[in-house]
Chains A and B, each alone.
Chain A
Amino acid sequence: MINEYGIIGIFLLGGIAFTLVCLVLSWLLSPHKRSVVKESTYECGLETSGVTWVQFKIQYFLYALVFVAFDVETVFLFPWAVAFNCLGMFAFAEMLVFVVILVLGLWYMWKEGALEWN
């Protein structure tokens, strides 16, 4: 079982090595002439105005909170989906009830206008 993860490890190392080789090659091959324009943050496009770290809207946090809840739901959907063929009709009904309970949350969210962006 661990050997199967060895393949993932080789992929990971290959990915890192490929990125490093590309970076080093482009650094070796490119001319190293410095200029003001080249070192500006946006070589083309508009200059930014004001600070970059602006305060975000609080609504993002609501989405993140609800996302965590639905993410935890996915954790339980996942083993059910993997074992779907060995589980019977009872498990299917059970998961249906589980999902319906959580869809109630989505319905409440919709009803309260939490999904609206203003």
Chain B
Amino acid sequence: MIIIFYLFSFLLLAFALGTVLSKNLVHSALLMIGSFFAVAGLYILLQAEFLAMVQILVYVGAIAVLVVFGVMLTRKGSVKDSNLPNRYKKVGALSAVIFFALLVRSIINTSFPAPSSPVVGANTIIQIAQTLLTQYAVAFEALGVLLLVAIIGAIIIGKETK
């Protein structure tokens, strides 16, 4: 169990480092997809299967496509040297270390009380569906409207650029 955790963590860190250090932005995108998969693996280890499914469906399926399209559409010059921000290695490393220190500080200062009883049962997806469609029904429909706004906004912006 702990070995699998370390395996996924190692994969995640390796893919993330590759994403940052690769000079080719398309390779970076591919490595980023790898790190998304590693995060999904960590979610499964935490028994958050729905989250893992969403991670693969939305991040690997859609966000990665969006990133790749963004690269293909806006690229100027040679793709072999397209990941320009990776020139700032020292500044990037410094900001990463500062951010890590901030995270560690807030993790240490937060108390994580153990749940008195197991909150989730065997079938989390069914529980999610029941809560979402009964208790949070209004929020659910508002979400539909929000997605509609996102679609219409995308179309309006996309039409303007034509």
Query: A residues touching B (Cβ–Cβ < 8 Å)?
Result: 1-2, 5, 9, 53, 55-62, 64-76, 78-80, 82-83, 86-87, 90-91, 94-95, 97-98, 101-102, 104-106, 108-109, 112, 114
Cα separation A70 to B150 with both chains bound (whole Å): 10
Tell yes or no: B75 within 8 A of A by CB.
Answer: yes
Cα separation A91 to B143 with both chains bound (whole Å): 15
Chain B interface main SS type: helix
Cα separation A9 to B4 with both chains bound (whole Å): 10
Chain A interface main SS type: helix
Q: A61-B70, A87-B129, A87-B133 are in contact. Are A114 and B144 (CB under 8 A)?
A: no
Tell yes or no: B94 within 8 A of A by CB.
Answer: no
Does A87 contact B130, Cβ atoms closer than 8 Å? yes
Tell yes or no: B134 within 8 A of A by CB.
Answer: yes
Does A105 contact B159, Cβ atoms closer than 8 Å? no
B151: which of A1, A5, A58, A105 is its contact (CB, 8 Å)?
Answer: A105
Tell yes or no: B54 within 8 A of A by CB.
Answer: yes
Q: A69-B151, A87-B129 are in contact. Are A5 and B54 (CB under 8 A)?
A: no
Does A86 contact B130, Cβ atoms closer than 8 Å? yes
What residue in chain B is nearest A83 (Cβ atoms)? Answer: B129
Interface string of B57-100 (1 = CB under 8 A from A): 11001110110011011010011000000000000000000000
Does A86 contact B126, Cβ atoms closer than 8 Å? yes
Does A69 contact B147, Cβ atoms closer than 8 Å? yes
Does A78 contact B155, Cβ atoms closer than 8 Å? no
